[in-house]
Amino acid sequence: MKKIKLTIDGMEITADADANILDAAMENGIYIPHLCHHPDLKPVGACRMCEVEVGGRNVMSCLTPVADGLEVKTDTPAIRAARQMNAELLIANHHQECLSCGSSHHCELLRVADSVGVNGDRLMHLTPRAELLPIDTSNPFFKYDPNKCIACGICVRTCDEIVGLGVLSFIERGNRTVVGTFADKPFIESICESCGECVVRCPVGSLAPKRTIRPSHEVQTTCVYCGVGCGIYLGVKGDRVVSVRADGERPSNQGSLCVKGRFGYNFINHPDRLTTPLIKKDGEFVEATWDEALDLVAEKLAPYKGRQFAALASAKCTNEDNYLIQKFARAVMQTNTVDHCARL
Ligand code: FES
């Protein structure tokens, strides 16, 4: 990729020749406030928070391509005033309960308000949204609170550009504009596949997972559900898996996941899960030791080696378990008839 040089606030930076000013700035560690821009999506210039000055004119940095020798100013009085006003209008129309919002630790609106400064007096005189809109909790994995929606359109574009389903669009007009499904139906009645791609990109927690336990650390691994090999980070707290995050560096999924990979991890620590072997005696399952169970299985399987035996592995086992079952089928049971439930 051809590189070009430009200056931002007097500092010379190098950028890809096809970048826009916002991406070039962020790439070089310069923060320009923004709300509707996401690196995975085409820029649309909807929030107007990213204004900068180029050649004496205010332009939106997410829509303006870089050019050799370009001089960009990100912090003039006119830009500060415009950004502050934009932020105040958005905050006035946003829900007022930041402290109880599960997304406040990664809310882009808070970050933007922090960086541009907000005039509290002026904010008091702006009219907040009149009525509270109902929160849609119909989806089993995430909820949608339209009162927090800032109409950045990131979820709409994610569903269009990345998922290719087009479940979401803008509904209503003016300061009543929010995102909704076709005919404003609950998510569960729409064609949404619950992949959660919109949820992980929502900058303000309007779309948010129902389970929100913050992990103490993450473990990089591969999703077991099918053969695509999506990279994931399992979030762990104590001895429990409490979250899943897509690995943006894995070529097979590039930061995306399906509903199973993203939300289908409750079974790991589910209280109904069997943790002790059971053996049927007189028509009843009774608890047994692992030695008893393994001896019984070995004795029963031994007569069925070769063509009489097939192994069906499970997506709810670890990758290591799945490796072992195919090894067991081939090396011990002498068959290549091995399959996995993900292909059903
Ligand atoms: Fe440029 Fe929203 S980030 S207009």
Question: Per-block average pLDDT, block size 10, for the chain (344 residues)?
Answer: 93 95 95 95 94 94 96 94 89 74 80 84 71 92 93 96 96 87 94 97 94 92 89 95 95 95 92 93 96 96 96 90 95 95 76
* Candidate of 26, 32, 35, 79 to mutate for ligand 1, largest count of ligand atoms within 8 Å of Cβ: 35
**Probe ligand 1: pick from 59, 60, 112, max atoms within 8 Å of CB?**
60
The whole-number pLDDT of residue 53 equals: 95
Ligand 1 neighbour 52 (Cβ under 6 A) = no
Query: In the prediction, which pLDDT does 19 show?
Result: 95
- pLDDT value at residue 128: 67
Distance 53 CA to ligand 1 centre (A): 14
Q: Confirm or reject: Cβ of 50 under 6 Å from ligand 1.
A: yes
Alpha carbon of 44 to ligand 1 centroid (Å): 7
Contact 205, 212 (CB under 8 A): no
Decide whether any atom of ligand 1 lies within 6 Å of the 62 Cβ.
Answer: yes
- Is any atom of ligand 1 closer than 6 Å to the C-beta of 38? no
3-state SS of 254-308 is CCCCCHHHHHCCHHHHCCCCCCCCEEEECCEEEECCHHHHHHHHHHHHHHHCHHH
Helix axes 77-92, 108-116, angle to 10 degrees: 140
- Reference 240, options 208, 271, 272; nearest CA is 271
**What residues does each domain of the chain span?**
3-123, 217-269, 278-343
Nearest atom (ligand 1) to Cα of 61? 1
Architecture of domain 217-269: Single Sheet (2.20)
How would CATH label the architecture of 3-123?
A: Roll (3.10)
Token readout for 44 is 């649309």
**pTM of the full structure:** 0.85
